[in-house]
Amino acid sequence: MILGQSVGEIENPDLPDQWNTVIKMSEKRARVGAVLAVTGASAIFTQDLDEGADEGAEAPGLPVASEEQKASLRAALEYILPRSEAKRVWGKIKESFGGGLYGPAADAVAAPIHALKAIRDDEQAEEEEARAEEKAQAEVGKTGEELRREKAAAKAGQMVGEK
């Protein structure tokens, strides 16, 4: 049977199936590549480890997280979670990195949480400012609606003056 095989190029009998397989492989590679690039995770994770490599081995070329980075991540976790849960999550994060935490990982996890906190702090400051302004105007006898109209008129006047 082996000796009777055709030699050379043989036409594939199921080209649509092969085409579909190649498309699926390329889509998956593109998706993985996009996630790694967007999240910056390629600095943390690798697909090229040898099968015999230790799981707890230090990541090549990655600096260990500084105390400042660890404190930043801890504070970020405590912002979004109750303290007891934040401690548990902190423990799981350290455990998943083999007891060590790398700087890029700490920064990547903490950055979006700190950004969310900054946005919420800005919104809260704006609300407090608006309340204080309305209170001051109420003392003078103006309502919040009157104040908003005056501000809009003043802003429109400035825009006309700028042109």
What was the pLDDT predicted at 143? 66
Sign of CA dihedral 51, 54, 55, 60: negative
CB 109 within 8 A of CB 76: yes
Token pair for 121: 């702090």
Counting the structural domains of the chain, the total is 1
- The amino acid sitting at 96 is S
CB 93 within 8 A of CB 35: no
What was the pLDDT predicted at 36? 72
Does 59 map to a domain?
Answer: no
Does 16 map to a domain?
Answer: no
Q: Distance between CA 158 and CA 148 in Å, rounded?
A: 15
Q: Distance between CA 16 and CA 14 in Å, rounded?
A: 6
CB 78 within 8 A of CB 86: yes
Dump pLDDT digits (tens) for 4-48: 887 888 888 888 888 899 999 999 888 887 777 776 666 666 555
Dump pLDDT digits (tens) for 106-155: 777 777 777 778 888 888 999 998 888 877 777 776 666 777 788 788 87
What was the pLDDT predicted at 57? 46
For residue 53, what pLDDT band results from cuts at 50, 70 and 90? Answer: very low
Does 25 map to a domain?
Answer: no
Does 102 map to a domain?
Answer: yes
Q: Distance between CA 80 and CA 83 in Å, rounded?
A: 9
Domain that holds residue 136: 64-162
Token pair for 60: 């090549």
Whether 84 shows a pLDDT value over 70: the answer reads yes
The pTM assigned to this predicted structure is 0.38
